[in-house]
Structure 1
Amino acid sequence: MAMSLGPLSLVFMLSLIVIPPTLAENERYRHFLTQHFDANPPGRNDRYCETIMSQRGLTSPCKAVNTFIHGNSNNIKAVCGNNGSLYEGNLRKSDSTFQVTTCTHRGGNTRPPCRYRASRDSRYIVIGCEGDWPVHFDETIIRA
């Protein structure tokens, strides 16, 4: 009986080592998507910024600047693979442009209600990757 538990114990112990980084990467990726991804925004104006920043929990305190990437999440993820090139450190620059909306706090009080100014753009994005997962958006602006 003890012999049969040995290999199972080894598999269990290895799974404890392998699974947490994967879960952590997925959690950081989900956080990245929450903060920086909106597939099809209904509008890309000041009201959009004020609404989505509040919905995504980015207004306690009011975040100074935040950019939302629009389009397909798989295309963003591909920047960490074959649709991106090394930019600096662990940062990668997309090989193609993305539609983005940058929400900039108008200043004043940093407590809600937060007021934002929206700016729309099409540009290359710079993201930090852990393995194949986007986990950080860099506000660097690289125009097409």
Structure 2
Amino acid sequence: MSMSLGPLLLVFVLGLVVIPPTLAENERYKKFLTQHYDAHPGGRDDRYCNKIMDERELTSPCKEVNTFVHDTKNNIKAICGEKGSPYGDDLRISNNPFQVTTCKHSGGSPRPPCEYRASKGFRYIVIGCEDGWPVHFDESIINA
């Protein structure tokens, strides 16, 4: 039985065209999770910030400010859909506040070891989404 390579080659080439954006999108989402997601924080104090910033490799150089959202991935992702509203240009704001911890570099050298101060609370969060996936944390707004 003889089979033409034409259809297989076409499927392979189409796969090369379609797969890279999906992989890149997943990489941006994974980076978002690494930088801003921590479902089960321990302490949420200065020691927590120093530890998680180091573990997540956000200290070379010392990142000035970074916020961690403490909720489920699905609840955060839902901001890109029905649980969020348009905000500014191409951003979404959560309809409800989220528990967050913001870690701020407390000065000194931009090189490790980095020292951070923690602030915690419930805040509306503003994120950037691509194809329904969170890929950028923009800011958090204090729930007044």
Specify the TM-score bucket, using the shorter chain as the normaliser.
Answer: over 0.9
Q: Distance in 1 between matches of 2:58 and 2:49?
A: 11
Name 2:105's counterpart in structure 1: 105
TM-superposed deviation, 1:56 = 0.4
Question: Any idea what SS the aligned residue of 2:14 has?
Answer: helix
Name 1:59's counterpart in structure 2: 59
Runs (4 or more) in structure 1 with deviation over 3 Å come to none
**Percentage identity across paired residues of the two chains:** 69
Name 1:37's counterpart in structure 2: 37
Question: Any idea what SS the aligned residue of 2:52 has?
Answer: helix
Gaps in structure 1 of 5+ consecutive residues: none
Question: Any idea what SS the aligned residue of 2:21 has?
Answer: helix
TM-superposed deviation, 1:95 = 1.2
Gaps in structure 2 of 5+ consecutive residues: none
Higher mean Cα deviation, 82-91 or 96-105? 82-91
Q: Distance in 2 between matches of 1:142 and 1:114?
A: 26
TM-superposed deviation, 1:96 = 1.5
CA distance 1:23–1:93, change in 2 (3 Å): same
TM-superposed deviation, 1:13 = 1.2
The letter for the 1-side match of 2:97 is: T
TM-superposed deviation, 1:24 = 0.3
The letter for the 1-side match of 2:89 is: G
Name 2:48's counterpart in structure 1: 48
Q: Distance in 1 between matches of 2:93 and 2:138?
A: 10
Question: Any idea what SS the aligned residue of 2:63 has?
Answer: coil
Write out per-residue CA displacement over residues 68-112 of structure 1, whole angstroms, 9 at most, x where no aligned residue: 000101110111112111112221111111100000011111111
Name 1:13's counterpart in structure 2: 13
The letter for the 2-side match of 1:10 is: L
The letter for the 2-side match of 1:46 is: D
Equivalent residues, number: 143
TM-superposed deviation, 1:139 = 2.0
TM-score, normalization by structure 1: 0.94
